[in-house]
Chains A and B, each alone.
Chain A
Amino acid sequence: KNQVEQSPQSLIILEGKNCTLQCNYTVSPFSNLRWYKQDTGRGPVSLTIMTFSENTKSNGRYTATLDADTKQSSLHITASQLSDSASYICVVSGSGGSNYKLTFGKGTLLTVNP
Chain B
Amino acid sequence: KAGVTQTPRYLIKTRGQQVTLSCSPISGHRSVSWYQQTPGQGLQFLFEYFSETQRNKGNFPGRFSGRQFSNSRSEMNVSTLELGDSALYLCASSAGGFPGYEQFFGPGTRLTVL
A positions within 8 Å CB-CB of B: 31-32, 34, 41-46, 49, 89, 91, 93, 96, 98-100, 102, 104-107
- Chain A residue nearest in CB terms to B100: A96
In the complex, A105 Cα to B42 Cα: how many Å?
7
B7 at the A/B interface (Cβ < 8 Å)? no
Cβ-defined contact, B102 with A89, below 8 A: no
Q: Which residue of the partner chain, among A41, A46, A104, contacts B43 with CB atoms under 8 Å?
A: A104
Interface size of B by CB at 8 A reads: 21
Q: Which residue of the partner chain, among B55, B58, B102, contacts A98 with CB atoms under 8 Å?
A: B55
In the complex, A106 Cα to B44 Cα: how many Å?
10
Collect the chain B residues with CB atoms within 8 Å of residue A91's CB. 43
Chain B contacts with A in 75-114, Cβ cutoff 8 A: 90, 92, 97-100, 102-108
B positions within 8 Å CB-CB of A: 4, 42-45, 55-56, 58, 90, 92, 97-100, 102-108
In the complex, A34 Cα to B55 Cα: how many Å?
20
CB distance from A46 to the nearest CB of B (A): 5
Collect the chain A residues with CB atoms within 8 Å of residue B107's CB. 41-43
Collect the chain A residues with CB atoms within 8 Å of residue B97's CB. 98
In the complex, A102 Cα to B33 Cα: how many Å?
12
